[in-house]
Amino acid sequence: DKFEQFWAINRKLMEYPPEDSGFRYIPFRIYQATTERPFIQKLFRPIASGGQLHTLGDLLKDVCPSAISLEDGEQKTQVMIHGIEPMLETPIQWLSEHMSYPDNFLHISIIPRPTD
C-alpha cells in the first residue's frame, strides 16, 4: 500500500557500485519437498575468488548437491523459481536482480520431476 516508501528503501538495497560487479551476498532460501528441513538459507557470494560469476548450479552444488545429482543418468528433481525452471548455467547475480521476491530473497524450490 506504500510502494513509494518501500521502493525508496529497496532501491538502496538493490544498488551496488559498478566496480563490485554484483551484490556482496545473495539472499536465498531453498525449499525441498522431499526433506524434513523446511528450508536452507546461507550466505553465498555471487562472484568467485577468481572473479568469475557463480551460477545457479554452483549455488546448488555448494548448498544442496542432491538437487542436481543424477540417478540412472537422469536428474530426478526440478529446480523452480517463480514456476520457471531456469538453466543451471544462469548467473546467480542475474537471478537475484531479476527473480527475487519483494523481500529481496531468491526463493528456490526443489521438487520431484514428474515421471509421466
Q: Where are the domains of the chain?
A: 3-112
Cα distance between residue 63 and residue 66, in whole Å: 9
Instruction: Write out the chain's pLDDT in tens, 116 residues.
Output: 787 887 777 666 667 766 667 788 889 999 998 788 889 998 899 988 888 999 999 999 999 998 888 887 788 899 999 999 999 999 999 999 999 998 889 999 999 888 76
**What does the H/E/C string look like for the chain?**
CCHHHHHHHHHHHHCCCHHHCCCCCCCEEEEECCCCCCCECCCCCCECCCCCECEHHHHHHHHCHHHCCEECCEECEEEEECCECCCCCCEHHHHHHHHCCCCCCEEEEEEECCCC
Cα distance between residue 106 and residue 22, in whole Å: 15
pLDDT for residue 109: 96
Q: Note the pTM of the prediction, 2 decimals.
A: 0.82
Q: Which amino acid is at 80?
A: M
The hierarchical CATH code for the domain 3-112 is 3.10.20.90
